[in-house]
Structure 1
Amino acid sequence: METWKMELGQKAMAAGILKDPQWLDRLDEPMPLWVLLEIAFQLIEKLDPPTVSYD
């Protein structure tokens, strides 16, 4: 596996995007859609968190 893929996988683990270290051995495999959706929702929540009214 290419070095850049391993480095990207390590960054994803450090950032909490990947939680299962077994993914590091399978970076060339297709990712299930539910995984991509989970990542997308995590990004949405971080970029635009729900607001709470201070009233």
Structure 2
Amino acid sequence: MQLNLTFADLPSGDDGLWEQLDETTREAVIDRLAQAIATVVTDKHPSQRETNDE
């Protein structure tokens, strides 16, 4: 199942919260999001994970 996100429903350009974060925290958030995305992708395609061990 694929979910669609309509970008018109997103709040318009309010980066205030992100701007309040220091650089170290921003990097940690980006890293954690990347890990979460990688986990979802590998959980959806376990056969590819097994073949990449060459």
TM-score, normalising length from structure 1? 0.38
Larger helix percent: 2
User: TM-score when scaled to structure 2?
Assistant: 0.39
Structure number with the bigger relative contact order (C-alpha 8 A, sep ≥ 6) is 1
